[in-house]
Amino acid sequence: MVQDLKTYGIYNTVTTVDPYDCRFLAGYPDGRMIRGKNFIDTGWDDIPQGLAALRYSLSTGHIITILKFRAYLPLIEVSLGIDGSKMFHSINVKCLADKEVLVYSIILKQTPDSKLKIGDVVISKEGLPTEFGKSWKYTDRGFSWR
Amino acid sequence: MAAPTLSFLYNKSGSDVAYGGTGAADANFGVITAGSDTLVFTGGGIDDTVLTTPTCASGTRSATIRPSVTSYVIPYTYVESTIMNHCDLVGHNANRYTMAVYVNGSMSSDLFLESWDDNSFSTTALPILQGSTNSSDESYINAIRTTSAAPPWAPGWDGGDTGAAYLKGTDDRVALKNASSITDEAVYYNVYIKLETDSVTFHNTPILGFRYTYT
């Protein structure tokens, strides 16, 4: 069921994804696909290396396919208010290319005035990281979604 | 990894010492219960005698009188739950261990202290965040990272100091550790509100929020 959530602030109303119904979809060369749990406990660190394709499924029905790179590191950007509020802003998928890192930022919230809507992707560049932790997942070229 | 758990803490003892727990209250720090407790900046009005310490009745306020000669720091900070607990170390001073956030788990970024109009985390239009001509249109909320060192005091710190900000959205925020990751540790900050003589009259309830990333 396609679903979004509303946050009613004193001044603004924001539409967000349901983080409990968003996940990654990791494909492997042998045809396996591992589904992430949700955006609270993603399960990303538990999946094996060598994935061949990466997609994100949002509760709003959006499916975002990330182009194939050498490795991925997805970072969920969230805010927690002292008032107990919680807001999921974006998931920033760092994608390792040969000489740089491209960051695919998938938007997870929108206001009526937002230029960027849920499911939009903003791409930016970063330099190569100085170290690669275990959360980086390397790819195996040669797989494609069928 | 799963999302880290954050515990919001305030120094309740008056002793400027580090937090020794892992998220729960200890001898020096109390827990700000997210969703029910409130951080209150008050005083400098005609009813300051009602602001007793170390606690006073929930709902007690002494509205700050707008300064007429020079800028003015709102003098009292409380954490309000069923009663109001005075945070006497918090404010325009060189105290280090005043407010804390304990990170249980790991985040893949720094922890950023921000302020917004409300829990939509989308606008910063309130007068307290917009500031005024006398504050150079900077927010009135001054905050500083004190995780690795006490704030400077000669003659005092403000949002323009290193590791500090006049809190306003993502443009002006404080990185509480100044590092690329945080795991199972406490980070610290100090905060105060300074009104200017050209401040408009307001009763604002912005939120303090903490932004981070995780995998």
Q: What is the pLDDT of residue B139?
A: 98
The answer to the question of residue A38 being in a domain is yes
**Mean per-residue pLDDT for B7-34?**
96
Q: What is the pLDDT of residue A2?
A: 74
Residue segments in chain A with a per-residue pLDDT below the cut of 50: 142-144, 146
pLDDT one-digit tens code per residue, B127-186: 999 999 999 999 999 999 999 999 999 889 999 999 999 999 999 999 999 999 999 999
The whole-angstrom distance between A71's CA and the closest CA on chain B is: 14
User: What's the angle, vertex CA A122, arms to CA A113 and CA A129, rounded to 5?
Assistant: 140
B179: contact with A, CB 8 A cutoff = no
| Total CB pairs under 8 A between chain A and B | 106
Residues 98-117 on B with a CB inside 8 Å of A are 108-109, 114, 117
Number of domains observed in the structure of chain A = 1
The encoded tokens of residue B167 equal: 């809190």
In terms of residue numbers, what domain contains A71?
A: 4-138
- Looking at chain B, the whole-number percentage of residues with pLDDT higher than 70 is 100
Contact yes or no for B207 and A111 at CB 8 A: no
The answer to the question of residue A146 being in a domain is no
Q: What is the dihedral of CA B162, B164, B165, B166, to 10 degrees?
A: -120
Share in percent of chain A as helix, strand, coil (round to 5): 5, 45, 50
Residue B202 pLDDT exceeds 50: yes
Q: Which of A13, A75, A79 sits opposite B214 (nearest CB)?
A: A75
Q: What is the pLDDT of residue A142?
A: 42
Residues of B whose CB is below 8 A from A10 = 117-118, 205
Specify the residue for token string 């990333």: B213
Residues of B whose CB is below 8 A from A81 = 34, 119, 121, 207-210
Contact yes or no for A83 and B3 at CB 8 A: no
The answer to the question of residue A44 being in a domain is yes
Instruction: Identify whether the C-beta of residue B99 lies closer than 8 Å to the C-beta of residue B151.
Output: no
Contact yes or no for B214 and A76 at CB 8 A: yes
pLDDT one-digit tens code per residue, B47-95: 899 999 999 999 999 999 999 999 999 999 999 999 999 999 999 999 9
Q: Which amino acid is at A107?
A: I
pTM above 0.90, yes or no: yes
Contact yes or no for A79 and B39 at CB 8 A: no
b/e per residue, B45-68, with b = 16+ CB within 10 A? Answer: eeeeeebeeebbeeebbbebeebe
Contact yes or no for A11 and B120 at CB 8 A: yes
A130: contact with B, CB 8 A cutoff = no
The nearest alpha carbon in chain A to B80 belongs to A83
Q: What is the pLDDT of residue A141?
A: 67
Question: Does the predicted interface ipTM exceed a cut of 0.90?
Answer: yes
